[in-house]
Amino acid sequence: MRHPFFKSSRQKVVSGWFFIGIGSRFRGDDAVGCLLADELAAAGLAAIEHSGEPTSLIDDWQGPERVMLLDAVFSGAAPGIIHHFDLRTETLPAAFSKPTTHAIGIAEAVEFARALGKLPPKIEFYGIEGQSFDYGRSLSPPVQEALEKLKGMLLKRYGSG
């Protein structure tokens, strides 16, 4: 039987980088942010998974001084390309928004937080260009490869080992 009252993985840190892996585990390459967060948490870094719901996302980055968002994007670039933005000084391209009139992307959540003065002192974004967002699919090969590459880079830079 399902047990719905799972323990929230939310945690607050006030120093060091706080990694937020955004996406859905059930939608192909959209899982890459969650899987990256798993890997970083397993390596002892402060990392959580997040659906991307804007109000709780903004809430989750209150407190930590340094926040790193990890997400899949779909901008038309080659699958597996890794995008990086310093969100204190840059805005995410509009192309990163999901192309519907009823969806809010991370780009809009960031701008909302900026308008309300709710961005952390340091906030960066790594986006991996996805190929397939179909339900029930695993990561596509180029995204899997990008995950390994980004994980290696982040662990080398921020991991204790």
Interacting residue ranges for another protein, rule: CB under 8 A:
1-6, 22-23, 30, 51-56, 58-59, 71-74, 94-95, 97-106, 108, 111-112, 115-117, 130, 133
> In terms of residues, how long is the chain?
161
CA torsion, ordered 24, 139, 68, 38, to nearest 10 deg: 80
CB of 144 to another protein, least distance (A): 17
Q: In what order do the strands lie in the sheet with 122-129?
A: 46-50, 17-22, 66-73, 122-129, 82-86
Please say which residue, 42 or 78, places its beta carbon nearer to another protein: 78
CB of 64 to another protein, least distance (A): 18
How far from the centroid of its chain's Cα atoms is residue 78's Cα?
A: 19
Please say which residue, 102 or 156, places its beta carbon nearer to another protein: 102
CB of 114 to another protein, least distance (A): 8
Please say which residue, 89 or 100, places its beta carbon nearer to another protein: 100
Cα separation, 9 vs 148, whole angstroms? 23
Question: How many angstroms separate the first and last alpha carbons of the chain?
Answer: 40
Please say which residue, 43 or 98, places its beta carbon nearer to another protein: 98
CB 85 within 8 A of CB 124: yes
CB of 8 to another protein, least distance (A): 8
